[in-house]
Amino acid sequence: MSFVSFTFLFFFVVFISLFHIAARFDKNAVKIQQVLIFLASVVFYAFADIKFVPFIAYAIFLSYFAGRLSGMEGRKGKIVFAAFVVADLLPLLFFKYAPSGWKGQLLFPLGLSFFTFQSLSYIIDCRTKKVEAEKNPFMVALFISFFPVVSLGPIQRPGNLIPQLKTAHRFNYENAADGLKIFAWGAFKKFCVADALAVYVNHVYAPSGLSAQPAPALLLAIVFYSFQLYCDFSGYSDMAIGVSKYMGFDVGKNFDHPFLAVSVGDFWRRWHISLSTWLRDYVYIPLGGSRVALYRIYANLIITFLVSGIWHGSTWNFVIWGLLHGLYQCAGRAAKPVTEKIKTPDFIKIAVTFCLVSISLIFFRAETLSDVGMVIQGIARLPQNIGQFIAIKGQLGFKEALRAAFSIEGGFVNMVDRLITLAVFICASVATRNKSGLEIIKSKPVAVRWLAYYALCLLIIYFFNTGLVTNFIYSNF
């Protein structure tokens, strides 16, 4: 069930009404709300495909028994723990690395990558005594299947979500209002920015014409894809955070202005935070983190980002993407003694970081390594394309030269729409760099606030009605 559907709207209105009514039963409020969350999670997940339910049920029961046996000591305890970790990973590894002949016949279970890591966090945290193993399997089921985050995160930790599931949540106007605002901002990012940019990106990256695309079009598509991916995924995260906030839950922040990062290391502290912190806590630190010799630190960084690449996909594109970010991190650490002495303006650091990240995302967007090669070859033709632009401008005028250089189909209106909404998003990102958007909007006069709300809603409706709505990119992972 997609957040961006009337089905979900009906589902959530019914659920939240019952959820808040249940809060009035003082003695049994927690139990009734827990049952409602569980039933809602089952309906939400099964709506995608009833065949997926056994996979999340498997993760739930495996996690429960792993938690119950987490107190085993000695060699036997380590073997049992390792067996549970491997068993938990098996479905994810199977679906990601099944023989290519099988993949066309297999449906990837909704949210498998996300709830597997959530399940692993429970198993590992129970083993390391960060949380106490739940005696009731129902609580484990609530934790792993919590419907706002089960599809695409943010990936939850048991120490954060389980205590919240054990308390009653009464209606709170501020939570509800903030939740709606966060959800609406996520919808703006998805419909008005990501899906609008996707049309151009898909046109340029189409396998049938990729080899013939001019360099300016490829460069613009690379930049557009960076914003498309960010707004698509962070848009979903905002919707999940908004739904949770309306219910009274805090599921954490998943993005924090990553394209305003001043280094690749800073970027990963801001991008897909729930995954990057998961990898830090469960891969990088257990490998030794930064407490070991320098060569080991570099190896740990490479391994951590290779795991990130493998988590995203089974093709060499994702492996190289992960390896590239690992190398970025190593280079950044090695150059730190020099870069700290050079006073470089932040805008230059931001621009360099954005370029490095965007280059890596060529591997993320291209379907094959062959396509990556075509993109690189196309960009290398830039001097030739500049000459063609000058020639076309002299013969047909600036407008036609621009159309040819950037491979613009049809009129310029759609491109102008994309650029305007992207500019609005960039301005909003800069404005909220040091202060949250919620704080800023609350500080404005009532008339200004409602004007902003109406404008945002009208933009969402306008782009939603264009019929350009696409699936969330990370649903493929």
Catalogue the active-site residues: 312
Q: Which of 103, 29, 465, 166 is nearest to 313 (CA)?
A: 103
191 close to 464: Cβ distance less than 8 angstroms:
yes
What's the per-residue H, E or C state across the chain? CCCCCHHHHHHHHHHHHHHHHHCCCCCCHHHHHHHHHHHHHHHHHHHHCHHHHHHHHHHHHHHHHHHHCCCCCHHHHHHHHHHHHHHHHHHHHHHHHCCHHHHCCCCCCCCHHHHHHHHHHHHHHHHCCCCCCCCCHHHHHHHHHCCCCCCCCCCCCHHHHHHHHCCCCCCCHHHHHHHHHHHHHHHHHHHHHHHHHHHHHHHHHCCCCHHHCCHHHHHHHHHHHHHHHHHHHHHHHHHHHHHHHHHCCCCCCCCCCHHHCCCHHHHHCCCCHHHHHHHHHHHHCCCCCCCCCHHHHHHHHHHHHHHHHHHHCCCHHHHHHHHHHHHHHHHHHHHHHHHCCCCCCHHHHHHHHHHHHHHHHHHHHCCCHHHHHHHHHHHHCHHHHHHHHHHHHHHHCHHHHHHHHCCCCCCCHHHHHHHHHHHHHHHHHHHCCCCCHHHHHHCCCHHHHHHHHHHHHHHHHHHHCCCCCCCCHHHHC
Query: Measured on CA atoms in the order 13, 14, 15, 16, is the torsion positive or negative?
Result: positive
Q: Alpha-carbon distance 434 to 223, whole Å?
A: 24
